[in-house]
Protein backbone atom coordinates (compact mmCIF):
# COMPACT_ATOMS: atom_id res chain seq x y z
CA UNK A 1 0.00 0.00 0.00
CA UNK A 2 2.86 2.38 0.77
CA UNK A 3 4.35 1.74 -2.67
CA UNK A 4 1.07 2.65 -4.35
CA UNK A 5 0.76 5.92 -2.43
CA UNK A 6 4.40 6.79 -3.17
CA UNK A 7 3.86 6.13 -6.86
CA UNK A 8 0.65 8.20 -6.87
CA UNK A 9 2.28 11.16 -5.12
CA UNK A 10 5.25 10.95 -7.50
CA UNK A 11 2.92 11.10 -10.50
CA UNK A 12 1.03 14.05 -9.02
CA UNK A 13 4.35 15.85 -8.43
CA UNK A 14 5.42 15.14 -12.02
CA UNK A 15 2.14 16.49 -13.43
CA UNK A 16 2.10 19.57 -11.20
CA UNK A 17 5.67 20.52 -12.10
CA UNK A 18 4.92 19.93 -15.79
CA UNK A 19 1.84 22.17 -15.53
CA UNK A 20 3.77 24.82 -13.63
CA UNK A 21 6.41 24.93 -16.33
CA UNK A 22 3.79 24.54 -19.06
CA UNK A 23 4.27 26.10 -22.44
CA UNK A 24 6.60 28.80 -21.14
CA UNK A 25 9.69 26.75 -21.98
CA UNK A 26 10.63 25.01 -25.19
CA UNK A 27 11.15 21.28 -25.24
CA UNK A 28 14.88 21.82 -25.81
CA UNK A 29 15.23 23.89 -22.65
CA UNK A 30 16.91 22.59 -19.52
CA UNK A 31 13.75 23.35 -17.52
CA UNK A 32 11.77 20.91 -19.68
CA UNK A 33 13.49 18.05 -17.83
CA UNK A 34 12.52 19.34 -14.37
CA UNK A 35 9.32 17.22 -14.02
CA UNK A 36 11.45 14.07 -14.35
CA UNK A 37 14.53 15.26 -12.48
CA UNK A 38 12.66 16.41 -9.36
CA UNK A 39 10.98 13.08 -8.41
CA UNK A 40 14.13 11.23 -9.46
CA UNK A 41 16.29 13.42 -7.21
CA UNK A 42 13.90 12.98 -4.29
CA UNK A 43 13.95 9.21 -4.73
CA UNK A 44 17.72 8.96 -5.06
CA UNK A 45 18.29 11.12 -1.97
CA UNK A 46 15.80 9.04 0.02
CA UNK A 47 17.47 5.80 -1.08
CA UNK A 48 20.89 7.18 -0.11
CA UNK A 49 19.66 8.29 3.32
CA UNK A 50 17.86 4.97 3.77
CA UNK A 51 20.97 2.99 2.86
CA UNK A 52 23.12 5.10 5.15
CA UNK A 53 20.83 4.61 8.16
CA UNK A 54 19.67 1.06 7.29
CA UNK A 55 16.01 1.96 6.79
CA UNK A 56 13.53 -0.56 5.52
CA UNK A 57 11.99 -0.25 2.07
CA UNK A 58 8.72 0.87 3.64
CA UNK A 59 10.48 3.65 5.55
CA UNK A 60 12.24 4.84 2.39
CA UNK A 61 8.93 4.93 0.51
CA UNK A 62 7.30 6.91 3.31
CA UNK A 63 10.22 9.34 3.23
CA UNK A 64 9.80 9.81 -0.55
CA UNK A 65 6.05 10.36 -0.13
CA UNK A 66 6.49 12.97 2.59
CA UNK A 67 9.16 14.85 0.67
CA UNK A 68 6.95 14.94 -2.44
CA UNK A 69 4.08 16.23 -0.30
CA UNK A 70 6.26 19.06 1.10
CA UNK A 71 7.12 20.16 -2.43
CA UNK A 72 3.56 19.73 -3.67
CA UNK A 73 2.39 21.95 -0.83
CA UNK A 74 4.68 24.73 -2.04
CA UNK A 75 3.54 24.29 -5.65
CA UNK A 76 -0.13 24.42 -4.68
CA UNK A 77 0.44 27.55 -2.61
CA UNK A 78 2.13 29.22 -5.61
CA UNK A 79 -0.66 28.16 -7.95
CA UNK A 80 -3.27 29.56 -5.54
CA UNK A 81 -1.39 32.89 -5.62
CA UNK A 82 -1.08 32.98 -1.84
CA UNK A 83 2.09 35.08 -1.62
CA UNK A 84 1.86 35.60 2.11
CA UNK A 85 1.35 31.91 2.83
CA UNK A 86 4.26 31.03 0.51
CA UNK A 87 6.46 33.35 2.57
CA UNK A 88 5.81 31.18 5.62
CA UNK A 89 5.78 27.84 3.78
CA UNK A 90 9.30 26.82 4.86
CA UNK A 91 8.62 27.77 8.49
CA UNK A 92 5.35 25.83 8.48
CA UNK A 93 7.09 22.84 6.91
CA UNK A 94 9.91 23.03 9.45
CA UNK A 95 7.42 23.16 12.31
CA UNK A 96 5.44 20.17 11.03
CA UNK A 97 8.45 18.07 10.08
CA UNK A 98 11.03 18.89 12.74
CA UNK A 99 9.71 20.76 15.76
CA UNK A 100 6.52 18.77 16.39
CA UNK A 101 8.14 15.33 15.91
CA UNK A 102 11.00 16.29 18.24
CA UNK A 103 8.53 17.51 20.86
CA UNK A 104 6.57 14.27 20.48
CA UNK A 105 9.78 12.24 20.83
CA UNK A 106 10.74 14.11 23.99
CA UNK A 107 7.28 13.61 25.47
CA UNK A 108 7.15 9.90 24.62
CA UNK A 109 10.66 9.24 25.94
CA UNK A 110 9.79 10.88 29.26
CA UNK A 111 6.86 8.51 29.85
CA UNK A 112 7.48 5.77 32.37
CA UNK A 113 5.15 3.21 30.81
CA UNK A 114 5.08 3.23 27.04
CA UNK A 115 2.41 1.54 24.97
CA UNK A 116 3.32 -0.37 21.79
CA UNK A 117 1.95 2.53 19.72
CA UNK A 118 4.33 4.89 21.53
CA UNK A 119 7.25 2.66 20.53
CA UNK A 120 6.02 2.62 16.94
CA UNK A 121 5.91 6.43 16.86
CA UNK A 122 9.37 6.71 18.44
CA UNK A 123 10.86 4.35 15.88
CA UNK A 124 9.39 6.26 12.93
CA UNK A 125 9.93 9.88 13.96
CA UNK A 126 13.32 9.85 12.23
CA UNK A 127 11.61 9.14 8.90
CA UNK A 128 9.76 12.46 9.16
CA UNK A 129 12.99 14.26 10.05
CA UNK A 130 14.87 12.65 7.16
CA UNK A 131 12.07 13.49 4.72
CA UNK A 132 12.48 17.14 5.66
CA UNK A 133 16.25 16.86 5.28
CA UNK A 134 15.66 15.42 1.82
CA UNK A 135 13.25 18.28 1.06
CA UNK A 136 15.78 20.93 2.11
CA UNK A 137 18.57 19.29 0.09
CA UNK A 138 16.35 19.09 -3.01
CA UNK A 139 15.33 22.76 -2.70
CA UNK A 140 18.95 23.85 -2.15
CA UNK A 141 20.21 21.84 -5.14
CA UNK A 142 17.37 23.15 -7.30
CA UNK A 143 18.15 26.77 -6.38
CA UNK A 144 21.86 26.20 -6.96
CA UNK A 145 21.23 24.65 -10.38
CA UNK A 146 18.92 27.49 -11.40
CA UNK A 147 21.51 30.06 -10.36
CA UNK A 148 24.29 28.31 -12.27
CA UNK A 149 22.18 27.74 -15.37
CA UNK A 150 20.94 31.31 -15.44
CA UNK A 151 24.47 32.67 -14.97
CA UNK A 152 25.72 30.82 -18.03
CA UNK A 153 22.63 31.78 -20.03
CA UNK A 154 21.10 28.36 -20.58
CA UNK A 155 17.59 29.68 -20.05
2-53 pLDDT tens trace: 889 999 999 999 899 888 887 666 666 666 778 888 899 999 999 999 999 9
Summarised one tens digit per residue, pLDDT across range 129-147 is 999 999 999 989 888 888 8
**130: containing domain:** 2-151
For the chain, the domain total comes to 1
The pTM of the full predicted model, rounded to 2 decimals, is: 0.84
Identify whether the C-beta of residue 58 lies closer than 8 Å to the C-beta of residue 72.
no
d(CA 1, CA 86): 31
Amino acid sequence: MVGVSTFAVGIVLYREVARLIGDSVSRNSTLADLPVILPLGISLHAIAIGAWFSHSTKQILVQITLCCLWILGGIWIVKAKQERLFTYWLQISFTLAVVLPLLARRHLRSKQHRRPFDEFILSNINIILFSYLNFVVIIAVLIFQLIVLSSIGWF
